[in-house]
Amino acid sequence: MNSRNLFAAAAFAALLASPVIAADNPATLSGGTIVTADAAKDLIAKGAQVIDVRSANEYAEGHIKGAKNVPYKEKSDKKAGFDASQDSFDLAKLPADKAAAMIFYCNGLECWKSYKASVTAVKAGYTKVNWLRGGLPEWKGKGYPTE
């Protein structure tokens, strides 16, 4: 094996051994609350509206029981300082009462849509924004109802 191939093999082995760099969504939500599936279940029992921000096709494949589909159409970068003007989210489909408790979710840690929808709702004046950061995977992992 020549030195270039040896270097390439070593670099590849190091890459495989290194921790995966994840593009997880943020761990904080200014103006809102990050909730677990357990907390979301309790909020739902108290009347919180569940908002599934995934595409209509994903929603049709299965969603949290009783969730309303309000797709967040994402074109902005997957970063905390995203440019919401590049995205599309129909705030008119959210409850008219800005003090109504809502829970936003999507496909878990690698999905940014529910984070972005939560930030957008907070900026629009909603005061009880809850973000199920672990999304549908966490919900299903607990065995909670879907439809």
* Per-residue model confidence as pLDDT tens digits over 77-126: 999 999 999 999 999 999 999 999 999 999 999 999 999 999 999 999 99
* Per-residue model confidence as pLDDT tens digits over 45-89: 999 999 999 999 999 999 999 999 999 999 999 999 999 999 999
* Per-residue model confidence as pLDDT tens digits over 83-92: 999 999 999 9
Tell me the pTM: 0.84
- The structural domains of the chain, with segments of one domain joined by +, span 24-141
Looking at CATH, the fold of the domain delimited by 24-141 is given as Oxidized Rhodanese; domain 1 (3.40.250)
Length of the chain: 147
Output the CA angle 114-120-126, nearest 5 degrees. Answer: 105
Parallel, antiparallel, or unpaired for β 102-105 and 129-132? Answer: parallel
CA–CA gap between residue 79 and residue 99 (Å, rounded):
27
In terms of Cβ atoms closer than 10 Å to its own Cβ (0-12, 13-18, 19+), residue 61 is: exposed
Given a contact cutoff of 8 angstroms between Cβ atoms, the answer to whether 49 and 100 are in contact is yes
> How many angstroms from the chain centroid is the CA of residue 79?
12
CA–CA gap between residue 129 and residue 117 (Å, rounded):
10
Parallel, antiparallel, or unpaired for β 68-69 and 49-52? Answer: parallel
Residue 80's region, left for phi above 0, alpha for psi from -120 to 50, else beta, is: alpha
Going by the DSSP 8-state scheme, the letter that residue 24 receives in this structure is P
> Quick one: pLDDT at residue 30?
95
